[in-house]
Structure 1
Amino acid sequence: MDAVVFDLDGVLVDSERAWDEVRRAVVAGNGGTWTEAATRAMQGMSTPEWAAYLVGELGTALTADEVARAVVDEMARRYADAPPVIEGAVDAVRAVAARGPVGIASSSPPVLITSFLEFAGLTGLVPVAVSSEDVAAGKPAPDVYLEAARRLDVDPRRAAAVEDSTNGLRSAHAAGLTVVAVPNPHFPPDPQVLAATATTVLGDISELPAALERL
């Protein structure tokens, strides 16, 4: 592999439950109704996409811009002290970056990606960090991975993606990257999608450097 592109939420930071809690609170506090399908439906969506979903699908009585601001501001507040970094994630990124270029392709807004990189001391090791806000469509569309590969100046077919969610797996696979899955234990990906997209499935992010040697 000429490069490795990491997802952020669920792969490097244990943030999926926090996103869920914050969005639920905004919906409940503003006249909306949460549904069983909402959490997985929004995984991978860009900020404009999930904000529109909270308004249009869940009935939140705010504008999409107001929803986005309320959710992202609360997430940024939670990240201010310390992002919920997954054990072994920073060491895995450092080990992979020692061998070649790495990047991030995330649905998180840039402010949260930057917060993680600065807290983890990875800013200098991760030259490319693409938010789905930077492209036309969030995951499962391939846009964010294609843009990360473009900025890294690598052929997507010669890059690996590290993903945890159904929509993330679909996105990376559609972009042509070799997919390494680290399934999210709290919101596991669809088993059929996992089987169809992932070349390698890991139980823990710490297994990644060794797994990449086998690709």
Structure 2
Amino acid sequence: MINAVVFDLDGVIIDSEEVWEEVRRDYVASYGREFLPDSQDRMMGMSTPEWSTHLAEEVGVPRTPTEVADDVLSRMAEKYKNDLPLIPGSVDSVRRIGERYPIALASSSARILIDQVLATAGLSEAFQVTLSTEEVPRGKPHPDVYLAAAEKLGFAPETCAAVEDSSNGLRSAGRAGLAVVAVPHGVYPPAADALALASLVVSDLGELTVEAIDRLR
């Protein structure tokens, strides 16, 4: 049976992938650089040290990875203060599932952004556990953040469900052994191999019911 549910943040609760892409592309362009053909796909699900290293060392931004991270996170935080891109139904879904199960958040966003989003959305007290991939050894698609979330909730990964949208997020949850629910993003759909890891695919969070979670195992 399912004992707990772990939510992703970006692409599940907030529709932030386009914001991330806009901010990072503008930032890279300010230094006369451009994304590599696969930069956007690769950075979805990466931890802050991983994507900032990619922009500094592979894309060629003439700043250290730490400086790149500070620059971009500052721009993202400013965006979130002015206009939080909540996905319709996401707050209700979190609250609905949280009434039945212990819930956690496992995000590739930096801690400063996680805390800001949850405070603005009124969800700071909704989750028993919140984790950034900065706080585990490796980011998605590695399983570390989901394994840590399950451990902190006090349940075996196999008895937890994950709600994810991106290829790397789905791979991370699948490799950790969780039952995977996919909510594919319309603009950035997951790869076929990642989507195949899902036990349930829903078109929107209105379909994410307690009964649907109960049927996963």
State the TM-score, normalized to the length of structure 1: 0.97
- Aligned counterparts of 1:148 and 1:191: Cα–Cα separation in 2: 26
Tell me how large the CA RMSD over aligned residues is.
1.0
User: How many angstroms apart in 2 are the aligned matches of 1:198 and 1:52?
Assistant: 30
Match of 2:27 in 1: 26
Q: In 1, distance between residues paired with 2:82 and 2:24?
A: 20
Number of the residue aligned with 2:122: 121
**Equivalent residues in 2 for 1:50-65, closer than 5 Å:** 50-65=51-66
Q: Specify the alignment match of 2:201 in structure 1.
A: 201
Query: In 2, are the aligned partners of 1:33 and 1:60 still within 8 Å (CA)?
Result: no
Distance 1:28 1:3 in 2: 42
CA contact (8 A) 1:4 1:161 kept: yes
What does residue 150 of structure 1 align with? Answer: 151
Tell me, in whole angstroms, the C-alpha distance in 2 between the residues paired with 1:193 and 1:95. 26
Question: Which segments of 5 or more consecutive residues in structure 2 lack a partner in the other structure?
Answer: none
* Secondary structure of 2:199's aligned partner: strand
1:57 alignment partner, SS class: helix
* 1:168 maps onto 2:193 in alignment: no
Offset at residue 15 of structure 1 (A):
0.2
8 A Cα contact 1:15 1:84, kept in partner: yes
Which residue in the other structure is 1:93 paired with?
A: 94
Is contact 1:31–1:61 with CA below 8 Å preserved after alignment? Answer: no
Letter in structure 2 aligned against 1:12: I
Instruction: Report the equivalent of 1:182.
Output: 183
- Using the alignment, how far apart are the partners of 2:212 and 2:57 within structure 1? 42
- Once the two structures are superposed, the pairs formed by residues 72-111 of structure 1 within 5 Å of their partners are 72-111=73-112
AA aligned to 2:188 is: F
Question: Aligned partner of 2:202: which letter?
Answer: L
Query: Letter of the aligned partner of 1:142 in structure 2?
Result: P
Return the offset for 1:213.
3.2
Runs of 4+ displaced beyond 2 Å: none
Partner amino acid for 1:118? Answer: A
Supply the AA of the counterpart residue of 1:21: E
Does the 8 A contact of 1:92 with 1:208 survive in 2? Answer: yes
- Provide Cα deviations, 1:22-65, integer angstroms capped at 9, x if missing partner: 11111111132212211010111100000000011111111111
**What's the TM-score, normalizing by structure 2?**
0.96
3-state secondary structure, aligned to 2:180: strand
* 1:164 to partner: Cα distance: 0.4
- Say whether the 8 Å CA contact 1:83–1:115 is kept in structure 2: no
Structure 1 residue 206 displacement after superposition: 1.5
In 2, are the aligned partners of 1:161 and 1:172 still within 8 Å (CA)?
yes
Identity of aligned residues (%): 50
Amino acid across the alignment from 1:202: V
CA distance in 2, matches of 1:102, 1:187: 25
C-alpha distance in 2 between matches for 1:146 and 1:73: 29
Q: Kindly provide the CA deviation profile for residues 96-143 of structure 1, in whole angstroms up to 9, marking residues without a partner as x.
A: 000010010000001111111111211112121100000101000000
Q: What corresponds to 1:44 in structure 2?
A: 45
Structure 1 residue runs of 5 or longer lacking an equivalent are: none
1:69 Cα deviation (Å)? 0.7
- Asked whether the equivalents of residues 30 and 62 of structure 1 are also in contact (C-alpha less than 8 Å), the reply is no
- CA shift at 1:192, angstroms? 2.5
